[in-house]
Amino acid sequence: MSKALSLDLRNRVLSAVCGGMSHRAAASRFGVSAASVSRWRALAREQGDARPKALGGDRRSGRIEAQRDVILGLLEERRDITIEELRAALGDRGLAFSYGSIQRFLVRHAITRKKRPATRRSRIARTC
């Protein structure tokens, strides 16, 4: 993932623009794009400085976490439900989530979906 350019560089570019330099001239002088200079000026106007916003991170799991009780209730009703069946059951309730979203939800809550065949207990070795 890329890193945001430093606040020092942003401030130097914005100082040059405030000193009368055009966006394109400041961009070429400091080795950044003219579009970046425009975005930084807009940030400085809106929030008072050109500090970059946070990069990365999870921004959408809150939507599925809001339905935690519904999902756990469905899993409680049917312990052997597959992820696709869970998706369909949620769809019947008007909730649309991708396969991956549900899978990440299950991993976050330490719920496994692995189905083991029934085997006789071993007297001499531990069965997993």
Mean residue pLDDT of the chain comes to: 89
Do residues 102 and 83 lie in contact, with contact meaning Cβ atoms separated by under 8 Å?
A: yes
DSSP single-letter state for residue 66? T
Amino acid at 113: R
Is the pTM of the predicted complex or chain greater than 0.75? no
The interaxial angle of helices 23-30 and 34-47, nearest 10 deg, is 110
Q: Write out pLDDT tens, residues 59-109.
A: 788 999 999 999 999 999 998 899 999 999 999 999 999 999 999 999 999
- Judged by phi (left if over 0) then psi (alpha if -120 to 50, else beta), residue 116 lies in beta
pLDDT at 1 over 60: no
Q: Determine the pLDDT at residue 128.
A: 60
